[in-house]
Amino acid sequence: MSTTTTRKVVIEPVTRVEGHGKVTILLDEAGQVERARLHIVEFRGFERFIQGRPFWEMPVAVQRLCGICPVSHHLAAAKAMDRIVGGENLTPTAEKMRRLMHYGQMFQSHSLHFFHLASPDLLFGFGADPELRNVIAVAGKFPELGKQGIMMRKYGQEIIRMTAGKKIHGTGAIPGGINKNLTIAERDELLVELDQMKIWARAAVKIARDYTVDNLEMALGFGSFESSHMSIVRADGAMDLYDGGLRAITADGKTIFDHVDNQRYADYIAEEVKPWSYMKFPFIKSIGPENGWYRVGPLARVNACDFIDTPEAEAVRQEFMAVTDGKPNNVTLAYHWTRMIETLHAVEKIEELLHDPDLQGDDLVVKGERRNETVGIIEAPRGTLFHHYVVDDNDQVVMANLIVSTTSNNEPMNRAVEGVAKKYLSGREITEGLLNHVEVAIRAYDPCLSCATHALGQMPLVVDLVDASGALLDTRKRG
């Protein structure tokens, strides 16, 4: 006799990033996985918080959104405010300083994720005891990898400090430009370690590539699914992480839209609200809310671009695309490989910029015709980041709408978790193995699940198994 009992497995990290989140795996009457949801309780309050503030504060104020990628918010807001002051055609010095800051951010963020968050999974296996599957354990077996992660992260942070003025609450980008150039001394300091960074970036691409190729059969069945992909691309179709038109492609590579003017994003992307989450669900309007979800981030960017304009990254991009005969790659675990392709691209761009004398220029700011509405879009490490503002004639922000990359990847993460849960969960127990695999699937997207508040004494992960009546069947804590 069947019953109507539905059990819920709840994985609830208490830390707050774009809010705090939990995973709910819904079981059917037979105890099998019916569907999975990742709830990220995004604090939409931030968009209200900045209303009434003067527009020139935005590039600094929005950095308080996120402790992980404040530089991305800083630059997206600055790009938006450029248009408010009519200064979107930046001077070469201003644009190149911002790009250097951005590539520094990309380099350190991707390195951190790969060496310190993902590598324990890849090196020790998804099923390994979490006590042995972390960055400290990596030191025991692969001490050089962990050290590389530290030094690559430090290098990127130094670039940020030199371009943004300081590590947190940087003020480098301002409406219409930048407030400092790069001194010769700063440039030379960064050049000292550049070659080492390139060597490590190349080696990291190889680790990620070898892992994916050697485990391709497993990866194909690990939370993978077909999806659309979206990013900005340069006018000639090249990958451009700082500026470009919006491009979206289908799972097999057909164009959905291309070179969309950033100011018109709302004609192509809409956001849906669902009752079980505070987070909005962006979708491609022409496809509709049911199937219009898409992936963003490194995998989407490598899939969507026509080429990469730095030689070493382009070579490894071609190798990556060859795995799927030039079609988009829809393997969730391939995010790691593409993340390292972008890391190599970032360090190549850093090298290009450090040898460009425009970085020592003195023409830092431009202004032009004042506007009241503006959109700034940038490719943050985790994907496309939208900042949309309306400013009144008193220079106060009266409307703000932000679409962060983790929001765009929400439905893909749901799909990834669902796929993994269907494979690894049955019965009434939250096994360590299930939890490990759910973590690995989510981690591939590098979601932003940990900023805002982190005060001592909070628990990062709680897992509950609850029956239909609300009774707790099982619980697990980690951290």
Partner 1 sequence: MGVPIPTAPRLRSGPMRVLVLGYGNPGRRDDGLGPRLAEELSHMGLPGVDVDSAYQLQAEDAAAVADHDVVVFVDADVSCPDPFEMRPVLPAGEPRFSTHSLAPETVLSMAWKYLEAKPEAYVLAIRGEDFDGFGEGLSDRAQRNLSAALGFIEKFLEERASSCEKAST
Residue with Cβ nearer partner 1 (87 or 156)? 156
Least Cβ distance, residue 136 to partner 1 (angstroms)? 4
Query: Which CB sits closer to partner 1, 122 or 451?
Result: 451
AA letter at 179:
N
Closer of 120 and 176 to partner 1 (Cβ): 120
Q: Is the separation of the CB atoms in 304 and 258 below 8 Å?
A: no
Of 60 and 100, which has the nearer Cβ to partner 1?
60
Question: For residue 248, what are the β-bridge partners?
Answer: 230, 257
Length in residues, the chain: 479
To the nearest whole angstrom, how small is the minimum distance from the Cβ of residue 388 to partner 1?
Answer: 19
- Rg of the chain over Cα atoms, rounded to whole angstroms, equals 22
- Residue among 6 and 396 whose Cβ is closer to partner 1: 396
For residue 439, give both structure tokens.
């973590």
Nearer to partner 1, 153 or 388 (CB): 153
Strand partners, 283: 270
Instruction: Using DSSP, state whether 91 is helix, strand or coil.
Output: coil
Give strand pairing partners of 377: 386
Question: How far, in Å, CA of 107 to CA of 284, rounded?
Answer: 29
How far, in Å, CA of 385 to CA of 91, rounded?
A: 23
Closest CA to 25 of 12, 34, 13, 15: 34
Least distance (Å) between residue 456 CB and partner 1: 5
Report, in Å, the least distance between residue 70 CB and partner 1.
7
Q: What is the smallest separation between the CB atom of 176 and partner 1, expressed in angstroms? A: 25
Q: How far is the CB of 132 from partner 1 (least distance, A)?
A: 9
**Separation between Cα atoms, residue 270 and residue 253, nearest integer Å:** 22
Q: Residue 129: how many CA atoms within 13 Å on its side-chain side? A: 3
Q: How far is the CB of 237 from partner 1 (least distance, A)?
A: 32
Q: Which is nearer to partner 1, 135 or 366 (CB)?
A: 135
Q: What are phi and psi of 23, to 5 degrees?
A: -110, 130
Footprint of partner 1 (CB under 8 A): 11, 13, 15, 43, 45-46, 49, 61, 64-65, 67-68, 70, 108, 112-113, 115-117, 130-131, 133-137, 139-140, 143, 146-147, 149-151, 153-154, 157, 167-169, 439, 442-443, 447-458, 460-461, 478-479
